[in-house]
Amino acid sequence: MMPTGPAAQPPLGPQMVQVKTCSKCSKQVPDNLTAGDKCPHCGVFFGKDDTNGKTAWSFSGMTGSARRGAIRLGITLACLAVGAVGWAFKKSKG
């Protein structure tokens, strides 16, 4: 029986490490953060992750007119909810 040595391993070359940076504060962030997470430095929410194509809705990423529209929609829905509660309360009293 012949003695065997350790199996030949190919030499390890340079390995690719992905570095992510925040687009707002330009600081390096952990590579496990994805869309929907927030920057540990400045707190901005990530709306899209280019590494896996994952996308999350972000109010802070809206432009001026879209943001105003979302605010108007929210106010309208809140007013409708208050009106519905008031109507139901009045209906139950009388």
For residue 65, the model assigns a pLDDT of 80
Rounded distance, CA 34 to CA 57, Å? 12
Report the run of H or E that residue 84 belongs to, with start and end.
helix 64-93
Contacts of 33 (CB under 8 A, 6+ apart): 20, 39, 46, 49
Please tell me the pTM assigned to this model: 0.38
- Please write the tens of the pLDDT for every residue from 17-50: 566 788 788 888 887 877 778 888 888 877 766 6
Spatial CA neighbour of 19 closest among 32, 31, 37, 27: 31
